[in-house]
Chain A
């Protein structure tokens, strides 16, 4: 083939891909608008089943009503601002689906490169996607469902036993509005997942849990060895707090970032870096933490509204009282925190302890990866030290937040990585946020590159 022929062939190929992308974009936007409309209806329509699902979740799961309503409110407001269309739009901009600097180890392996090349070739429109949902916070799996539907793929879901009502309620509702073709099946039982030649599995969890679940599915012949998996393993986020004033000014968002969902989400802050020592912030932090705990306690006693009304007013002080006895009063956890406090006293570690929550100051050299969801590490250090911490924590780190009006003031830890986010987005992220740096919609649509 001569040079002109090759050029023409390349141009034809490019045009074809471009045309494919254009068509996908148009169809995806239509899906986004429809999905947005149907999801908002789920929140607003009294017959949608949301109310029942919320009540079942309050009474039948570990989630507390404050967290459930907070999550519902956050999702609804992001739908109303047009996140889904925006997500599709930004997908057509040519950018990598995965933040490469976060996946250095993966891309260094030729084997992994080959697997990724195969995945890209094989993942066509209307692929079968199996989503294995996490259940650490309410509706945490919704983002994957939305991405699969927007991409135009077919969804099968393994619903978490820890969050078994909300997502099925949404799925059932969507089916009534014509999404049956894409929403194929969901179940809580692993053995009930149908064999369906899955092209891709979406998963969130530790490496050890991944190998266990993967083994189970392969042994049950639901998947084969070659089915590609996308795993998200990040478990916590970092906040940079520039001053004492910032803590006071951003008190509510900061406490949400630390304490919302019991600190369990990967967007929850596990490490705070600040040029201000913890001792200097003891009183404002103690007060803020006490307020959160007292407010949560009071809310449980005073909520009287129906879920829809509570969402409309977005006022957690008027939420309906849970019908079951109070949960989350775990006596062994309280005892456990007594031991942790005693330990901090013994080793002369500065700490702030309120209820069963602890903030402990650790030297930057030795601050461990935070694992316990109610223990936050405070690092007395400056902005430059963030770089070291980000490198040290590697893939366990989800996001970096800034307590201040201008997040761009913070120097990025290194190029291609971590956008510095404002602290107020920690628990109210856009629906297109990137778990582990991966834009899941972009990842599911390699054919539009």
Chain B
């Protein structure tokens, strides 16, 4: 892990002892979990999802100034603990991770009780800081992960929930994490590689063909392999194999994980078209293709479970909301903005509104359909009129 990703602990944030008492009463399990972490709070099965959500809402309302101001402006107060059981707390636009410091602030200066919340962080762990992709001239999302063990736990549990407890060898057609310590995706891939007990996991050169002999050898030896890469990286790889007259026939034990990047500066492709090309190019079954949906601002991932439908782990709730009224959840089948409640984001913000357009099915699975285009546009962008 590079030292670039570390930073010194943040500014003190003072709260009253009265508030502390309130917190202890309202969220005893979270209080206990943060003070003496054994199982991360979001994985704790003694509380149901809504109970955990309500406690985290109070915690973040009190300790995350950005979220507190957002909620207050929308008429929510710290006393709205019970309101969380009947409606969704305000979803903070993820743009906030670009515009402000969206994380809980350490306590406390003069109050030993409250400081126990976060003392273990100072002793045992070093925070991470992830940035969204982009150039230095671009405004990038900044996500400080005050306790990386939560991210590690979320990565592992998300993976196991989808792919089971079997050992997977990870090959990644991505830049290495050591050169890109600000990438949350590469951190995730790095952890998955670290947990592979065969030590066969590795990064592959973006300029080279897939080492098919080695891959087949791993399969012959009984291993399962997951290939990670971005959408256009896979298409480029297929073209390279075609150019070099080295056709791919992907063994059934090998799967492909597409990590996004459907639209770049020069190219864009729909997910349906991409999957068609991948099935042809890799000569594989559609079941061997997977998609990972994650973002810098979010510590949990969703994976495709059936075709193009994504499924999130049980500590994450995906909602599709009305873009004009983000507190209003839409029925399944209706397109809207994707909102995420990720309980793993304990020290930042668990309630997020993405800029992605999506749709949900009746079982709660979802699809990402691209970026949401606002309807109140400037200029002559009104020509997509339907004649019907």
Residues of chain A whose beta carbon lies under 8 Å from any beta carbon of chain B: 132, 134-136, 140, 160-162, 188-191, 203-206, 208-210, 212-213, 232-236, 263-266, 268, 270, 332-333, 335-336, 338-339, 341-343, 345-349, 365-366, 370-374, 396
Contacts and interface: CB of A to CB of B under 8 A. Distances in A.
B92 interface: yes
B376 A342 contact: no
Give the top 8 A-B pairs by smallest Cβ distance, nearest first. A235-B379, A342-B73, A134-B380, A346-B70, A204-B380, A332-B324, A205-B383, A347-B99
A203 B383 CA distance: 9
A75 B99 CA distance: 43
Contacts of A203: 383
B74 A338 contact: yes
B326 interface: yes
Given A263-B378, A396-B379, 19 more contacts: A205-B382, A212-B384, A213-B383, A232-B380, A234-B379, A235-B379, A236-B378, A265-B378, A265-B379, A336-B323, A339-B326, A343-B70, A345-B69, A346-B66, A346-B92, A348-B69, A349-B99, A371-B378, A373-B378
Contact of B73 (A160, A191, A346): A346
Nearest to A163: B382
Contacts of A132: 383
Contacts of A347: 66, 96, 99-100
A204 B377 CA distance: 14
A232 B381 CA distance: 10
B354 to A, nearest CB: 14
Given A347-B100, A349-B99, A365-B139, A266 B378 contact: yes
B381 A209 contact: yes
Contact of B324 (A161, A335, A346, A396): A335
A265 to B, nearest CB: 8
Interface of B: 66-67, 69-70, 72-74, 90, 92-93, 95-96, 98-100, 137, 139, 322-326, 374, 376-385, 387
B380 A266 contact: yes
A205 to B, nearest CB: 4
A38 B70 CA distance: 57
A263 B376 CA distance: 10
8 contacts: A134-B380, A135-B385, A235-B377, A235-B379, A266-B380, A333-B376, A343-B92, A371-B378
A345 B73 contact: yes
Contacts, number: 125
Contacts of A210: 383
Nearest to B99: A347
Given A212-B384, A213-B383, A347-B96, A342 B378 contact: no
B377 A336 contact: no
Given A345-B69, A346-B69, A366 B378 contact: no
A370 B382 CA distance: 16
Contact of B387 (A191, A270, A342): A191
Contacts of B381: 136, 205-206, 209, 235
Contact of A342 (B70, B374, B377, B382): B70
A336 B324 contact: yes
A102 to B, nearest CB: 15
A203 B137 CA distance: 34
A343 B93 contact: yes
Contact of B325 (A264, A335, A372): A335
Contacts of B323: 336
Given A346-B96, A366-B139, A134 B322 contact: no
B380 A345 contact: no
Contacts of B98: 366
Given A191-B387, A342-B74, A236 B379 contact: yes
Given A346-B70, A346-B92, A264 B378 contact: yes
Contacts of A345: 69-70, 72-73
B89 to A, nearest CB: 13
A213 B380 CA distance: 14
Contacts of A264: 377-379
Contact of B379 (A190, A266, A341, A349): A266
B58 to A, nearest CB: 18
B102 to A, nearest CB: 9
A132 B379 CA distance: 15
A270 B324 CA distance: 20
Nearest to B73: A342
Contacts of A204: 380, 383
Contacts of B379: 136, 205-206, 233-236, 264-266, 396
B73 A136 contact: no
B386 to A, nearest CB: 9
A135 B379 CA distance: 10
